[in-house]
């Protein structure tokens, strides 16, 4: 590309396109375009928002024509500088006597944008040429530092393999069975805080369904490769895992009774690490890259945090914990882009990173070990809820098996009634006693759920006691006992609906 100083010429707006061509046509394309002065520059706004039109190029000028063909912008080629393309966008500056204007074209495809760029003059200002050289050098440097981003691809592969293994075990593809996910290592407070500290790591690789997995892996693919090139594969892996674990710790401190899992805490840590790198070494990055990345990262962080706080089922504790953890460790892990400069600070940064990690983990362990009595009661209650489904299913199936037994004689009826009282009713008594022995605080969010569960268990145990009486009395049912069973069954169904409603508001937290 040619590099020359800009020459100020005429920047003209003509009422209509001349019938006699002012130059030999080079190309034409349908685009959307906008043209406005750069900040601090004079001149008029031709079009502030993108508008449909045509982009015509001759060997003398360039013409932007609105779709109505009532207004056109004719730009001499000598005024056009610093043309570039980013995907479907084509940018160039117009250096006119009134000031510098920025023209932005939105082409129909990436290929069309590149074709338009070829039609434009290759003139460049010294600043643009320096930035272009810096961009080229930047790309070469980070590719040299980390030619293959194997850690990013490896992390994605591990997450996908864990998800496929979970699906194969029957957890579910889209809407997963949340109690079953606990067996795969989710960050479930009652288990984590009862010695299952390994869940702080494994929960980073477990996801609640296909969409949860896809969204997180897409984000990791998009930002992980850049972060790995800037930090280096080993340091990037440390950053990712550290942020993921800190996200898990904050999550279990924030809401210790929630079943939480997902990679987004670690991904937020990568966001934080990238932002720290861009701010810390902004002088070593091309200006356009530094501004673009800083703006993009801040917008992504703000949007995702806003979305998390305005929607249910999002683990905001893990997001914030991962973000802060990634930013803190990024301060010590981030190193300059040049190899000689990296070698000088490598040992110091490693020592600082280890000291920071030990301090954070030590403080976290202290906080996790100081769970209050109220928290321990909530954890015990959630643990009972998690074990409820298999216990309930066994009690129901045992009763169903007894109901299908063939009985003719009184002794057989007595035997069935006896088994109901000795095998089925005690299971409901045990469920009732286990939840009755949990003493929740008055302001506990689980008070209503506990009361509903106790009423449901009470309905069941009373109902099966009466069923044993009916079975013993023979084929002639007692109308009074039958009416009592019907009333208890109806109430039990109402309690099931209430339990499902209350439990749905306390589902797992995705991250």
pLDDT in tens, 84-141: 888 888 988 888 877 888 888 888 898 898 998 888 888 888 877 766 766 666 767 7
CA Rg, the chain, in Å? 34
* Sequential DSSP letters for 301-350: HHHHHHHHHHSTTB-HHHHHHHHHHHHHHHHHH---SSHHHHHHHHHHHH
Domain chopping of the chain, boundaries: 12-124, 150-369, 373-510
CA 93 – CA 102 distance, rounded (Å): 5
**Per-residue confidence (pLDDT) for residue 173, from 0 to 100:** 79
Strand 509-510 relative to strand 99-106: parallel, antiparallel, unpaired? unpaired
pLDDT in tens, 282-306: 877 776 677 777 888 898 899 888 8
Region of poorest pLDDT, from 76-85, 208-217, 246-255: 76-85
Residue 15 has pLDDT above 50, yes or no: no
Q: Report the CATH number of the 150-369 domain.
A: 1.20.1540.10
Residue 9 has pLDDT above 50, yes or no: no
CA 103 – CA 64 distance, rounded (Å): 10
Domain 12-124 in CATH 3.40.50.720: no
pTM score, whole prediction? 0.68
Residues marked active site are found at 264, 319
CATH of 373-510, picked from 1.20.1420, 3.30.450, 1.20.120, 1.25.40, is: 1.20.1420
**Per-residue confidence (pLDDT) for residue 249, from 0 to 100:** 94
pLDDT in tens, 250-269: 999 888 878 899 999 999 99
pLDDT class of 4 with cuts at 50, 70, 90: very low
pLDDT class of 204 with cuts at 50, 70, 90: very high
Residue 355 has pLDDT above 90, yes or no: yes
Residue 97's φ and ψ, nearest 5 degrees, are: -55, -35
């Amino acid at each position: 590309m040619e590099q020359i100083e800009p020459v100020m010429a005429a920047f003209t707006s003509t009422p209509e396109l001349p019938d006699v061509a002012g130059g030999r046509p080079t190309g034409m394309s349908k685009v959307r375009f906008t043209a406005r002065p750069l900040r601090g520059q004079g001149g008029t706004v031709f079009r502030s928002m993108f508008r449909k039109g045509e982009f015509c190029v001759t060997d003398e000028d360039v013409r932007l024509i609105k779709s109505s063909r009532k207004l056109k912008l004719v730009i001499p080629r000598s005024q056009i500088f610093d043309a570039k393309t980013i995907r479907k966008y084509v940018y160039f500056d117009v250096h006119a006597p009134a000031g510098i204007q920025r023209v932005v074209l939105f082409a129909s495809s990436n290929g069309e944008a590149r074709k338009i760029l070829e039609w434009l003059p290759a003139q460049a200002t010294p600043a643009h040429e320096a930035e272009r050289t810096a961009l080229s050098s930047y790309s070469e440097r980070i590719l040299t530092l980390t030619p293959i981003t194997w850690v990013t691809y490896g992390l994605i592969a591990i997450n996908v393999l864990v998800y496929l293994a979970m699906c194969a075990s029957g957890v579910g593809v889209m809407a997963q069975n949340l109690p079953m996910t606990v067996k795969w290592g989710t960050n479930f407070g009652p288990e984590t805080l009862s010695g299952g500290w390994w869940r702080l790591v494994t929960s980073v690789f477990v996801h609640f369904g296909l969409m949860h997995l896809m969204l997180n892996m897409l984000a990791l693919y998009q930002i992980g490769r850049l972060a790995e090139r800037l930090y280096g594969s080993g340091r990037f892996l440390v950053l990712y895992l550290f942020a993921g674990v800190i996200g898990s710790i904050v999550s279990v401190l924030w809401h210790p009774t929630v079943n939480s899992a997902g990679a987004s805490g670690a991904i937020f840590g990568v966001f934080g690490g990238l932002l720290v790198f861009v701010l810390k070494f902004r002088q070593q990055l091309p200006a356009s890259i530094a501004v673009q990345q800083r703006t993009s990262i801040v917008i992504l962080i703000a949007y995702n945090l806003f979305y998390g706080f305005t929607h249910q089922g999002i683990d905001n504790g893990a997001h914030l914990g991962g973000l802060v953890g990634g930013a803190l460790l990024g301060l010590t892990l981030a190193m300059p882009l040049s190899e000689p400069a990296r070698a000088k600070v490598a040992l110091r940064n490693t020592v600082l990173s280890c000291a920071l990690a030990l301090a954070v983990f030590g403080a976290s362990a202290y906080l996790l070990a100081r769970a209050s009595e109220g928290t321990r009661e909530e954890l015990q209650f959630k643990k009972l809820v998690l074990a409820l489904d298999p216990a309930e299913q066994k009690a129901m199936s045992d009763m169903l098996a007894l109901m299908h037994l063939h009985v003719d004689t009184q002794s057989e009826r007595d035997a069935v009634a006896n088994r109901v009282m000795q095998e089925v009713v005690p299971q409901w008594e045990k469920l009732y006693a286990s939840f009755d022995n949990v003493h929740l605080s008055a302001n506990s969010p689980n008070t209503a759920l506990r009361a509903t569960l106790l009423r449901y268990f009470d309905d069941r145990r009373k109902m099966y006691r009466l069923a044993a009486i009916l079975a013993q009395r023979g084929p002639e049912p007692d109308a009074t006992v039958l009416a009592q069973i019907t009333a208890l069954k109806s109430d039990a169904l109402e309690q099931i609906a209430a339990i499902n409603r209350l439990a749905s508001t306390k589902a797992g937290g995705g991250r």
